[in-house]
């Protein structure tokens, strides 16, 4: 009885298991499409679920082997004798003429700052104001260069362009650079004296172009004398002559005479500029002030009148006639400047002069002549 029961029980369990397996097989068939063999296996062992085997990935076709690049042909070797000849051959050495031309080309490209930079890199120790100081009192440029080289580092004296990129000639160029920036320097003194002597022999002529050229030259010479006085703290032109080792006392009077003859053909503003400049000159040199102050005042007053500024010129003359001991000369100059433009006013000025000037004065007769002139009809 028990055996049958067990067998029947086992049969029932087997049928239940088969029934469950069929259900699972249907579900699995819908999802993963399992085989019948797998269903039997699951029925036998329900507790262990076997995963479906993964599909084998398709094999990737092998890439074709890359084509081999043909080996480059080996360059032809130079014959041993020729190769040795090339190795031994060197660049030809530059001649002195070529080296000098190259040096000039390099130096010509340098400015003042470049000169100092290159020289300082090779032992040159002087600065800008050291060069200015030497140019102030030393007339010989070669001596200035010599002192600059000697007072630098010892190795600088042996510097060459070929080896160091600079030499003594660059110092000479440096001195010329600084000299060109100064209005006047000691090496210029000889040329200044020579040009002053040349101008003393020049007289105003009929050609405006030549007169104008000479006037500008003399103006710059007078300007240089003024700069020397200011820079060297000289309060007389005589001291300037001592510094130059050449007398220049006659030049200011000559320049004023030449300016008086030339400036009527210039513009009005040039007269104003000339007046300001000459008063600065007289203010610097005490020995000129006493001799040329009155002459300058009369010249400027005349020039204003000649340029049509009668009010300014008349005002200057009225100022000069106050308590002046040489009224006859001042009146004569005053009347004379109007002779060519306004005879009536010239006669009026001369007649006013005769009220305070008599036969004892040097210009009395000249004033009488102007006062007696007949007016044109």
Nearest-angstrom CA–CA distance, 25 and 34: 7
The percent of residues in the chain predicted with pLDDT above 70, rounded, is: 76
Q: Give the per-residue pLDDT at 96.
A: 78
- Stretch among 32-36, 289-293, 334-338, 370-374 having the lowest mean pLDDT: 32-36
- Stretch among 153-157, 222-226, 269-273 having the lowest mean pLDDT: 153-157
Predicted structure pTM score: 0.70
3-state DSSP helix/strand/coil % of the chain, to nearest 5: 65, 0, 35
Averaged pLDDT of the chain: 83
Q: Give the per-residue pLDDT at 212.
A: 94
Per-position DSSP letters for 303-346, written without gaps between them:
HHHHTT-HHHHHHHHHHHTTT-TTHHHHHHHHHHTTTTT-HHHH
- Stretch among 44-53, 223-232, 306-315, 351-360 having the lowest mean pLDDT: 44-53
Give the model confidence (pLDDT) of 337-361 as tens digits. 999 899 999 999 999 999 989 999 9
Mean pLDDT of 115-127: 94
Q: Cα angle at 233 between 232 and 236, to 5 degrees?
A: 105
Residue 14 has pLDDT above 60, yes or no: no
Q: Give the per-residue pLDDT at 61.
A: 53
Mean pLDDT of 203-232: 94
Nearest-angstrom CA–CA distance, 142 and 134: 11
Give the model confidence (pLDDT) of 33-64 as tens digits. 444 444 444 444 555 455 454 455 455 555 55
Q: Give the per-residue pLDDT at 33.
A: 44
- Stretch among 31-45, 106-120, 278-292 having the lowest mean pLDDT: 31-45
- Stretch among 34-48, 91-105, 272-286 having the lowest mean pLDDT: 34-48
Tokens of 52: 């479906």
Out of 15-29, 132-146, 152-166, the most confident range is: 132-146
- Which is more confident, 87 or 244? 244
- Which is more confident, 4 or 357? 357
358: helix, strand or coil: coil
Is the four-CA dihedral 17, 18, 20, 24 of positive or negative sign?
positive
Per-position DSSP letters for 274-301, written without gaps between them:
HHHHHHHHHHH-HHHHHHHHHHHHHHHH
Place 5 in a pLDDT band, splitting at 50, 70 and 90. very low
CB atoms within 10 A of CB 164: 17
Residue 89 has pLDDT above 60, yes or no: no
Mean pLDDT of 261-278: 96
Residues 6+ apart with CB under 8 A from 283: 289
Tokens of 105: 């080309």
Greatest CA span in the chain, whole angstroms? Answer: 194
Residue (of 353, 320, 361, 323) closest to 336 by Cα position: 353
Tokens of 153: 């580092």
CA atoms within 13 A on the CB side of 257: 12
Give the model confidence (pLDDT) of 169-205 as tens digits. 999 999 999 999 999 999 999 999 999 999 999 999 8
Residue 19 has pLDDT above 60, yes or no: no
Q: Give the per-residue pLDDT at 82.
A: 52
Residue (of 110, 128, 93) closest to 165 by Cα position: 110
Q: Are 18 and 43 in contact, with CB atoms under 8 Å apart?
A: yes
Residue (of 317, 340, 248, 319) closest to 287 by Cα position: 248
CB atoms within 10 A of CB 368: 15
Residues 6+ apart with CB under 8 A from 179: 135, 141, 185, 187, 188
Residue 30 has pLDDT above 50, yes or no: no
- Which is more confident, 192 or 162? 192
Nearest-angstrom CA–CA distance, 332 and 343: 13
């Amino acid at each position: 009885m028990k055996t049958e029961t067990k067998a029947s029980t086992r049969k029932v369990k087997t049928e239940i298991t088969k029934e469950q397996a069929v259900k699972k097989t249907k579900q699995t068939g819908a999802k993963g499409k399992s085989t019948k063999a797998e269903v039997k296996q699951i029925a036998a062992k329900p507790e262990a679920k076997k995963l479906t085997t993964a599909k084998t990935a398709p094999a990737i076709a092998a890439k074709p082997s890359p084509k081999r690049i043909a080996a480059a042909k080996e360059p032809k070797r130079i014959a041993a004798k020729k190769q040795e000849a090339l190795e031994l051959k060197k660049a030809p050495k530059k001649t002195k003429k070529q080296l000098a031309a190259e040096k000039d080309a390099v130096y010509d490209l340098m400015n003042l700052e470049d000169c100092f930079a290159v020289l300082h890199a090779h032992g040159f120790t002087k600065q800008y104001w050291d060069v200015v100081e030497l140019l102030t009192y030393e007339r010989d440029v070669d001596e200035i260069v010599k002192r600059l080289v000697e007072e630098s580092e010892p190795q600088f004296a042996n510097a060459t362009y070929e080896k160091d990129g600079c030499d003594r000639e660059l110092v000479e160029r440096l001195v010329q650079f600084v000299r060109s920036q100064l209005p006047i320097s000691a090496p210029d003194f000889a040329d200044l004296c020579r040009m002053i002597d040349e101008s003393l022999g020049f007289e105003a002529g009929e050609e405006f172009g030549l007169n104008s050229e000479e006037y500008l030259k003399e103006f710059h010479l007078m300007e240089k004398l003024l700069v020397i006085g200011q820079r060297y703290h000289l309060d007389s032109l005589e001291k300037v002559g001592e510094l130059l080792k050449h007398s220049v006392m006659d030049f200011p009077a000559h320049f004023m005479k030449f300016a008086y003859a030339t400036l009527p053909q210039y513009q009005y503003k040039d007269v104003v500029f000339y007046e300001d400049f000459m008063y600065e000159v007289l203010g610097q040199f005490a020995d000129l002030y006493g001799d040329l102050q009155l002459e300058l005042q009369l010249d400027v007053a005349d020039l204003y009148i000649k340029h049509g500024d009668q009010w300014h010129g008349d005002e200057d003359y009225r100022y000069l006639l106050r308590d002046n001991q040489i009224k006859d000369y001042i009146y004569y100059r005053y009347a004379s400047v109007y002779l060519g433009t306004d005879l009536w006013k010239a006669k009026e000025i001369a007649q006013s002069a005769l009220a305070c000037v008599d036969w004892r004065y040097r210009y009395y007769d000249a004033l009488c002549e102007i006062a007696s002139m007949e007016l044109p009809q």
